[in-house]
Amino acid sequence: MTEKEKDSLLQEAMTVLRGNWVDLKASTGFSKPAAHVYPYQWNWDAGFAAIGYSYFDIDRAIAELDALFSGQWENGMLPHIVFHTESHDYFPNQSFWQTKERNENAPRDVDTSGMTQPPIHAIAAWYIYQRLSQTDPARAQDWLDRMYPKLHNLHDYFYRERDQRNTGLMTIYHPWESGLDNSPRWDKSLAHLSPKERPEYTRLDTDFVDARFRPTDASYNIYVHLAELMRKVNYNDQKLQNNHPFQVEDIMLSSILHLATTHLIKIAEVLNKDTAEIKGWQSRFSTSVMKEAFSQEDQLFYDHDVLTEELIRIDTIATIAPIISGSIDKKLVRDLFSTLDTAGFCGSGTCQTSLLPSTSLSEESFNPQLYWRGPVWININWLIWIGLKNANHTERAKAMKQSLLSCLKEHGIWEYYSPEDLDGIGAQEFTWSAALAIDVLES
Ligand code: 9WN
């Protein structure tokens, strides 16, 4: 890509970010995930947005994470949506969740959902720290001082409430918590549910995006049913652990948490805090992941259904997710590349890209256009790229960087892309695709 092309992609990405920014009172604000479809602040979207903003508007990067953490619960849980504004464009909104009324840990002055998402925020906080250190070291130090207790609470929440077997493998109670909502990874664990118990509702997402690209109505009924069951126990973790009918250890979320915990340790070290407890949390994953989430037979990683005690052997991008964690053997990282180079993961002529689809082309449920069931997502490819760089697989990382940039440049800044022709799908002008484009360009 020429310097001119790079510059035009950078300008385009900054324009998308600025376009999705929502001003709140007293110079605060947040990024909507896209111009349409998602009117509120989402959890991991905000982390990615802050990474992008850290390069060109540090005040907004800080405001983004501040706004998100204003929704953090007393018990450390960081909700998957924070409702800073009213909107009638999305279901379920605050009137469904009723978190203030139902759980004493929920914040009093802002509405939130009652479930979480992948915790990438220590990584984003570190990006901000690095930028600030170059220009204003005192502010950089203040930033970490201020964020550390919040991040510590967030990680403590996961290792305390979601690590049922002390393995560093975190349990999710709803596909929305994974961030990869519609992945076929969840199909078998959802199949036994009869989603009768749910409120009357009207989905609104398909007013903005072609229904062919979004989860089916049957999937939505299950999502709303599970959210209803979570609401019924007032989002109480202990009750969820005892009775909830969907409990899966998510290998992707756990790998992201592991990487984020590495950043939390770095932050603690800058602040001269004792890191023994955090290192203890982190060692759970390193010592257990091979035993608990790796299939010797397939030589791949899988999610684990807590209720049936089975590995979920579905061929998706999650099978190589521990590359992101930074904690698996370098040789194993290389061996996992052989998976990437199969026809299922665009290693052959069947795909137009070396970017990784969310679901393998060889999986029965693969659909190139359907939400998390095939499309290429920028954030997941970015996370794998970070994993490759951290494992010093320089050539592979370089190739992935080129693929990311040419996809964004040639096909625009979309929510996701068909792996067959990289046509953009879903929401246009998508925040995290823009934010991560900036990081890839600037790294
Ligand atoms: C439900 C906002 C979010 C992302 C998720 C993505 C999608 C919501 C939805 O959009 O989920 O949380 O309505 O489909 O799956 O990863 O955070 O961009």
Ligand 1, pocket-test mutation among 20, 38, 78, most atoms within 8 A of CB: 38
CB atoms within 10 A of CB 209: 18
Ligand 1, pocket-test mutation among 32, 42, 93, 117, most atoms within 8 A of CB: 42
CB 443 within 8 A of CB 382: no
Ligand 1 atom with the smallest distance to the CA of 205 is 13
List the catalytic residue out of 161, 415, 420, 429: 415
Say whether 317 sits in a helix, a strand or coil.
helix
250 is known as an active-site residue: no
- The whole-number pLDDT of residue 341 equals 82
Encoding tokens for residue 422? 């990289």
Nearest CA to ligand 1 atom 12: 176
Ligand 1 atom with the smallest distance to the CA of 371 is 15
- The whole-number pLDDT of residue 342 equals 84
List the catalytic residue out of 12, 181, 335, 363: 181
Ligand 1 atom with the smallest distance to the CA of 38 is 2
Cα 179 to ligand 1 centre (Å)? 6
**pTM score, whole prediction:** 0.97
Start-to-end Cα distance in the chain: 15
Closest among 170, 164, 192, 173 to 244, alpha carbons compared? 173
Ramachandran region, residue 213 (left: φ > 0; alpha: ψ -120 to 50; beta: rest): alpha
Ligand 1, pocket-test mutation among 181, 186, 203, 415, most atoms within 8 A of CB: 181
The set of protein residues with a Cβ atom below 6 angstroms from ligand 1 is 33, 38, 42, 44-45, 80, 176, 179, 181, 205
Cα 325 to ligand 1 centre (Å)? 22
Cα 3 to ligand 1 centre (Å)? 33
Encoding tokens for residue 147? 């964020």
DSSP per residue, 74-97: TTS---SEEE-S--SSSSS-HHHH
415 is known as an active-site residue: yes
- Judged on CB neighbours under 10 Å (0-12, 13-18, 19+), 349 is exposed
- The whole-number pLDDT of residue 349 equals 58
- The whole-number pLDDT of residue 405 equals 97
- The whole-number pLDDT of residue 297 equals 96
Ligand 1 atom with the smallest distance to the CA of 372 is 15
Ligand 1 atom with the smallest distance to the CA of 180 is 15
Q: Which residues in the chain show pLDDT less than 50? A: none
